[in-house]
Amino acid sequence: MFAAAGHFLRLFRIARTLARHDAMFPLELLAMPPAMRASLKLLTVFNRRHDNEGVPPGERLARALESLGPTFIKLGQALATRPDIVSGDVAESLTRLQDRLPPFPGSEARAIIAEELGRPVEALFSSFDDEAVAAASIAQVHRAVTADGVPVAVKVLRPGVRQAFRRDLATFFWFARVAESRVPLSRRLRPVRVAETFAETIALEMDLRYEAAAASELRENMAGEAGFRVPRVLWPTTAERVLTTEWIDGIPIGDRQALLAAGVDMRALSTVLVRVFLLQVMRDGFFHADLHQGNLFVDADGSLVAVDFGIMGRLDRKSRRYLAEILRGFHSGDYRRIAEVHFEAGYVPRGKNINTFAQALRAIGEPIAGRPVRDISFGRLLAQLFQVTATFDMRTQPQLLLLQKTMVMAEGLAMHIDPEINMWDVSPPVVQSWLADNMGPEAYLREGAEAALSLLRYAPLMAEEFDRRLGAVTAEGVRLHPDSVRMIAGERAKGEMVKVLALWTIALLLLILLVVAD
C-alpha cells in the first residue's frame, strides 16, 4: 500500500509538470476514470504556463520531458518510435528531443574511471581533459590521450543515474500494470510490455560494455564499405561504466557550410549514408538506430564516421524478407500480396478480413502511385502503414517502429546534405541484391540445407534425452511388451537411415547450389 502511495505521488508530480507545459494529452489517451480526468484538467488550469501559446503539442511534450530529467528524456526518445501511441506529428517532434544535461565535474569522472579500471587516470592516460566535450542524460565524454600517444574519447556513466532510473522505472511499471488491468483500450498497446522493453533498453545503456560490443560488431560488419567507418574500441580501458574509443576529428554532418568549404562531394556523401544504412538493415539486420546530426562526422579523408552506439536495432531474416516484400508490393501496386505478407508474418490477427486489409493498404498506396519517386519517402510510407494498426488490432512491432524512425532520420540527414538525393534511386542495388540472395531458388535451397544441418546437429541430443527418459521409466518398474521393444529398435534403425539420407540430401543441395552459382 505504501509503495502504491509513493508511486501515485510520483505520478502526481509528473502530471503537474506535464500540465505546466500543457502536455497532458499522453495521459488523457488512456481513457481514465472521470474523477481522475477531472483532476488532470484542474492541474492543467492551475499550472499552465503562458509561453505555451502557439507551441505544437509535440514540442510542448518534449519540453516537459526534458524538465523531468534523464529517465523521461529516454522515454521521449522511445515514444518517438511509437507513432501508434502518440500521433505521427508528436513522434516526429520527439525525435528532436535534446538529450543534453549540465556536465558533472571532471574529478567525479576521474574517480569513476579509477574505480572501474583499478588504476588512477594518470596511470592509464598521458593526458585527460577534465572538461567534458559532450554531456547527456546517461553519460558524458572526455578527450584523453593513451600512454602510447593515441587520442581517444572516454565515455563515463553519470553518477547516481542508475538509482534515478530504477526509481522512475518502478513507477512506470506500476502505472503500466494499473492501465493494462483497468483500461481495456490500453491493452492493444501492451503498456507492461512497453515498460519491459524500455527497461531492457535502459539496462543495456547502463552497461557501456554492451555499447562497446555493438560498436565492435558494426565495425566488423562494415569493414569493407568504402567511405564509411566506425571508431575502434580500446578494450583495456573499457568497463561497465567506462567506454574508450579512438578519437574522431571531423566535421559534424549537420554543418553543411563547413562540409562545402572543405570540398566534400555532397552527392557522394549522401549516397554513402543511404547505402550503408540500407546495408546495415537488409544485409546485416543490425543497424545504428540513433542517426541524428550529433552522431555522424566527416573525417579528413571524406569518410562518414558514426559514433554513439547506445541505441541499435536488429531485424531477423524473416522480418527483413517481409519488409522487402512490403516495399516491393507498394512499388508494384500489389496490395493483395502486401496484405498476405502481413498475415503470414502474424502482424495482423487471423480473424481479420484480408480483403478489407488490402483495401486499407490501397488507400495508402494509390495516392503515391504515379508520383515522381523523389517525392516518395521510405520512412513516411512505413509510418502510414503503421497507422492502420489500431483499425486492425495489429500488435505493435517495436523493431519495425524503431526502423521506421531511423529511416526517417536517415532520409532527413541525406536530404540535408544533398536536397536532390532520392532513396528510391540509391536503394535498388542494395535491396535487389538482398532480394536475389534471400528470396530466390538458391536462397530457399540454402535455407533447407541449413534447416537439415540444424536438425542433424540436435538429433544426438534428442536421442540422448529419449534414452534418458525411457531409462527412467523402465527403472521405475514399467515393463515394455516385446513387440514394443522390437518396434523401438526398428525405429532407432530407421533413425540412423534418416541421418544418412539427410546427409545425402544436403550433399545434393550443395551440389545444386554450386551448379547454379557457376
Q: What is the pLDDT of residue 428?
A: 61
Q: What is the pLDDT of residue 455?
A: 61
Q: Which of 438, 470, 493 is the last residue of a domain?
A: 438
**DSSP, residue by residue, 118-150:** SS-HHHHEEEE-SS-SEE-SSEEEEEEEETTS-
Beta strands 228-229 and 304-306 are: parallel
| Rounded Cα distance, 269 and 354, in Å | 42
Joined together, the cell numbers standing for residue 327 give: 516495399
Is 207 strand, coil or helix?
Answer: coil
Q: Which of 438, 466, 483 is the last residue of a domain?
A: 438
- Whether 136 and 66 map to the same domain: the answer is no
| Rounded Cα distance, 468 and 231, in Å | 51
Indicate if the pLDDT at residue 52 is higher than 90.
no
Is 17 strand, coil or helix?
Answer: helix
- pLDDT tens profile 338-387: 889 888 888 788 788 899 989 988 888 787 666 655 566 666 666 666 66
Joined together, the cell numbers standing for residue 246 give: 579512438
Dihedral pair phi/psi, residue 245, rounded to 5°: -130, 165
| Rounded Cα distance, 75 and 22, in Å | 18
% of the chain exceeding 90 in pLDDT: 27
- Whether 303 and 387 map to the same domain: the answer is yes
Q: What is the pLDDT of residue 249?
A: 92
| Rounded Cα distance, 145 and 127, in Å | 5
Contact between 238 and 329 (Cβ < 8 Å): no
Where is average pLDDT lowest: 256-260, 283-287, 348-352, 488-492?
A: 488-492
User: What pTM, to 2 d.p., does this model score?
Assistant: 0.73
Indicate if the pLDDT at residue 172 is higher than 70.
yes
Q: Return the higher-pLDDT residue of 170 and 434.
A: 170
- Whether 231 and 265 map to the same domain: the answer is no
Indicate if the pLDDT at residue 516 is higher than 50.
no
Considering the candidates 290, 334, 393, 483, report the single residue annotated as catalytic: 290
Average pLDDT over residues 47-64: 75
Q: What is the pLDDT of residue 128?
A: 97
- Whether 271 and 410 map to the same domain: the answer is yes
Q: Which of 247, 280, 303 is the last residue of a domain?
A: 247
Q: What's the chain's average pLDDT? A: 78
Q: Return the higher-pLDDT residue of 378 and 111.
A: 111
| Rounded Cα distance, 101 and 135, in Å | 6
Q: What is the pLDDT of residue 2?
A: 58
- Whether 354 and 473 map to the same domain: the answer is no
Q: Which amino acid is at 291?
A: L
| Rounded Cα distance, 83 and 96, in Å | 15
Is 296 strand, coil or helix?
Answer: strand
At residue 19 the predicted structure's pLDDT band, cuts being 50, 70 and 90, is confident
**DSSP, residue by residue, 90-108:** HHHHHTT-----PPPPHHH
Into how many domains does the chain fold? 4
Indicate if the pLDDT at residue 132 is higher than 80.
yes
Where is average pLDDT lowest: 106-120, 336-350, 383-397?
A: 383-397
Joined together, the cell numbers standing for residue 220 give: 566488423
Which residue in 385, 370, 409 sits closest to 327, CA to CA? 385
Contact between 384 and 364 (Cβ < 8 Å): yes
- Whether 52 and 126 map to the same domain: the answer is no
> What Rg, from alpha-carbon coordinates, does the chain have?
27
Contact between 400 and 408 (Cβ < 8 Å): no
Q: What is the pLDDT of residue 515?
A: 45
Contact between 321 and 342 (Cβ < 8 Å): no
Outline where 183-312 has alpha helix (H).
Answer: 191-205, 208-221, 256-261, 266-278
- Whether 380 and 411 map to the same domain: the answer is yes
Is 148 tagged catalytic?
no
At residue 56 the predicted structure's pLDDT band, cuts being 50, 70 and 90, is confident
Q: Return the higher-pLDDT residue of 311 and 384.
A: 311
Average pLDDT over residues 185-194: 70
Cα pseudo-dihedral 199, 203, 205, 208, rounded to 10 = 180
- Whether 449 and 320 map to the same domain: the answer is no
Q: What is the pLDDT of residue 405?
A: 73
- Whether 115 and 172 map to the same domain: the answer is yes
Contact between 97 and 62 (Cβ < 8 Å): yes
Q: Which amino acid is at 301?
A: D
CA angle 88, 283, 456 (to 5 degrees): 120
DSSP character at residue 307:
-
Q: Residue 305: which H helix or E strand, with range? A: strand 304-306
Q: What is the pLDDT of residue 518?
A: 45
For 150, the domain range is: 100-247
Beta bridge partners of 275: none
- Whether 300 and 354 map to the same domain: the answer is yes
- Whether 385 and 421 map to the same domain: the answer is yes
At residue 201 the predicted structure's pLDDT band, cuts being 50, 70 and 90, is confident
Indicate if the pLDDT at residue 513 is higher than 50.
no
- Whether 356 and 387 map to the same domain: the answer is yes
Where is average pLDDT lowest: 267-271, 273-277, 343-347, 356-360?
A: 343-347
Contact between 52 and 24 (Cβ < 8 Å): no
Residue tagged 514394443 (cell numbers): 484
CATH of the domain at 126: 3.30.200.20
At residue 250 the predicted structure's pLDDT band, cuts being 50, 70 and 90, is very high
